[in-house]
Structure 1
Amino acid sequence: MKRIVKLFTASVILIAILAAIAVAKTLGRTEIRIDIHQNRELIHLSTFAEPPQFAIWLEDPVSRDLKTVFVTHRVAAGDWEGKANVPNALPYWSELFRKNGKTPGQSGNLGASDLVISGATPKADYFTIRVEVPPESEWICWIEMNLAGDFNDAYPEIDSRSYQEDEFKDGQPALLYRADILSVERSEYNPGLYAQSVWSSDTVFIEPVGDGITTAKNVFDTIRISVNRPKPRLINKYKIKEI
């Protein structure tokens, strides 16, 4: 019985020590958390009824270095189920990170060991991603989103006058959201709709959001960015290692 008590006491002490270490590791650190809610009803109204492609990246406003936080797998890998390429899926992200053979997800002086996080297109209503940054550092957070097959009168599948078909079944163009962030704990930001990104004849154009954009503006009906201390964890997989 005494042996069991000793083992139990030792286990409790060990757990307490590990918990204290995990908490101590969060001191003096900040983490950017991005929460997105997708409008499932609106997505189902599109031709393909599939969730949108999107990318999230951070830009250092001084050095202009870039770091992808997340990008959907199809865009990152160029996996389009039989299509060689869909250049207008996320044209701005592709222009920044793929042009001239850049490593997908990195640009500038960020460490080569810190690679882009990519994953399957989220099908759940809510999506959350976190990335650790230095305390009180400044960032521009960019989010680019495109829902395939969201045709409307301004962006039809087939133009009734010219009979020209939307080659990539894209519908409305990709949209860009932007938020300027200071990584101070308990800060919150709501990225605003910034522009539309359009690919045409191997050139990417960043344009003001046109009157022809309708349902695309509501595919992400909530975007919230918060800055907090990281949750205690023994292994941290979100930290940006080199800046």
Structure 2
Amino acid sequence: MKKIVSAAAVLILGTSALFAREVKISVGAGENWKGRHTPQFAVWLEDTEGNYIRTLYVTAKASKKNWIFAPSEGRPESLPVWYHASKQDTRKGKEAQKANEFLGLDAVTSATPKGGIIFEDEIEDTSCIIKAEFNLSFDYNEFYTKKNSSDNGQPSVVYQAELTEGESEEVKLNFAGTGSLDGSDGQIHKDTEGLTTATSIVKLTAVTFPKK
């Protein structure tokens, strides 16, 4: 019986490897990549029904909640779409950290790069949605002031694209909307009134498929 189980396990692993594909994700720094601080951002996958699959990359401060002078509830407004999709506990403290440990984000986390980033990963060769959310705190303007947006400034901006099964050409993520200004929901809001510098945090986010 043990031999049969082992053989089946090998077969399953081998089959899943056959249906995996390598991807290279490029995030280019835009004109307003760096303000008073560097931006926080996350890149993740969802299925075509909008169900979260996994995170491909997230900045360390957003993942580990290393906020300076943040309230006990953390900064849910920093990356609200990703926080809600991944079911992250945004609170500060050890209890929240323990609750998030099972998500296994350490392997895909790093400090915010100074000038964009290129990273590679392996994903299943099925149709899915790739999303990327960016936010630069304190990027106030005439519409989003300190008074009405607290430390957030302009809300997070979200980009997305569909990766179809067997895709081989470069796919560029398109602007989809903004996250909740106060972090109260995980919806992508289509109302972009008042956005200025937030739309130029990132220059280009694209996915390519390296040839084996």
TM-score category, normalised to shorter length: 0.7 to 0.9
Shift of residue 121 of structure 1? 1.1
Partners of 1:52 and 1:133 in 2: CA distance: 26
Deviations 1:189-225 (A, max 9, x none): 1110001111437444431041211111111011121
For residue 172 of structure 1, the aligned residue among 135, 149, 154 is 154
Structure 1 residue runs of 5 or longer lacking an equivalent are 1-25, 107-112, 158-163, 231-243
**Which runs of 5 or more residues in structure 2 are unaligned?**
1-16, 90-95
Q: Considering only CA atoms, is the larger Rg found in Structure 1 or Structure 2?
A: 1
1:218 aligns with 2:209: no
Considering only aligned residues, what root-mean-square deviation do their CA atoms show, in Å?
2.8
- 1:34/1:105 Cα in 2 relative to 1: closer, same or farther (>3 Å)? farther
What percent identity do the matched residue pairs reach? 24
TM-score when normalising by structure 2: 0.75
Distance 1:219 1:63 in 2: 25
1:74 counterpart residue number: 61
Partner of residue 130, structure 1: 120
Relative to structure 1, the CA distance from residue 105 to residue 147 in structure 2 (aligned partners, 3 Å threshold; closer, same or farther) is farther
Counterparts of 1:46-195 in structure 2, within 5 Å, are 46=35, 48=36, 50-61=37-48, 64-84=51-71, 85-98=74-87, 103=100, 106=103, 117-123=108-114, 125-135=115-125, 137-157=126-146, 164=147, 166-167=149-150, 169-184=151-166, 186-195=168-177
Runs of 4+ in 1 over 4 A off after TM superposition: 26-29, 99-106, 113-116
Equivalence for 1:237:
none
Kindly tell me: are residues 172 and 199 of structure 1, through their superposed partners in 2, closer, same or farther at Cα, counting changes over 3 Å?
closer
Q: Does 1:35 align with 2:26?
A: yes
Q: CA deviation at 1:104?
A: 6.5
